[in-house]
Amino acid sequence: MRKTSKSLREIISSGGMARVMAAHDPLSARLVEEAGFDAIWASGFELSAAMGLADVSLVSMTQHLDNMRRMADRSSLPIVADVDTGYGNAVNVIFTVKQFEAAGASAVVIEDKAFPKVTSLIAGGRQDLLPISENQGKIEAAVSARQDPDFLVIARVEALIAGRGEAEALERAHAYEAAGADMILIHSKEKTPDEIESFIRGWTGSVPIVIVPTAYPQMTEARAKSLKKVGMLIYGNHAIRAAVTGMQKVFARIIADGGIETVNDEIVPVSEIFRLQDMDMVKQIETQFLR
């Protein structure tokens, strides 16, 4: 497995809580590292959005894999790869895990929806779940496929998203833990943390919980730590939302002003882009080797 500046398994096994920020390309991955997060969430939603596509399994495994590999080349942080449903059944999952681990991922998250999936937070979206036994087989397949024992297999439970209730969510979580999952990601689209906190209080398994507080932003890191069972907190789509916010504001200002004169001092200078591109290194290489 690719050597990283931090080990996700070490953070989690020591009782810590990894703070993970989404990225959708190598530039955003580098900014995640510079900001001080513990790991990168290679988000399927963000990559789909960056490609101008809906998050409904339109982006192929190869496209996601290539993008994640490029992020791994530009950052030393561990990468948690969002592989949706594993791109098919247990056979596909084995191939997916091997490919993503070889490309530099430190973990994969596999959700228990049917393929093709529909993004979780869309109002009125189709949320079809696999039978528990079938998804257990996929988690077992994922665990069997990893080469490095520190590589994490995270099982994502979508029962709350699908309106199936806490009892089924807990049943699924326990089944996936029994299948060998290292962590359980529980997802919710409720606007407050109540549903998630109730699930966590009811969780009697031994593996840590992963949460993604996109819909319930009141869930601070301090509040998550106080629950004593959360080993990873993922900020699931804030890179692409920040990028869209910034571009919309700047583009509108340029149109309104009829030029770039006033907005120029409100955005990063070109020199900052050069820094992120490692242009100083390019100049050093040219000085040393171009003859």
Coil, strand or helix at 4 = coil
DSSP-derived pairing of the beta strands 79-82 and 107-111: parallel
Which residue has tokens 């571009």? 247
Supply 197's token pair: 């906190």
Distance CA 70, CA 64 (A): 10
Supply 120's token pair: 């979780």
Coil, strand or helix at 120 = coil
Is residue 138 a contact partner of residue 96, using CB atoms and an 8 Å limit? no
Instruction: From the candidates 25, 38, 55, 150, give the one annotated as an active-site residue.
Output: 55
Active-site residue, 278 included: no
Please state whether the peptide bond connecting residue 116 to the residue before it is cis, i.e. omega within 30 degrees of 0.
Answer: yes
Active site (catalytic) residues: 55
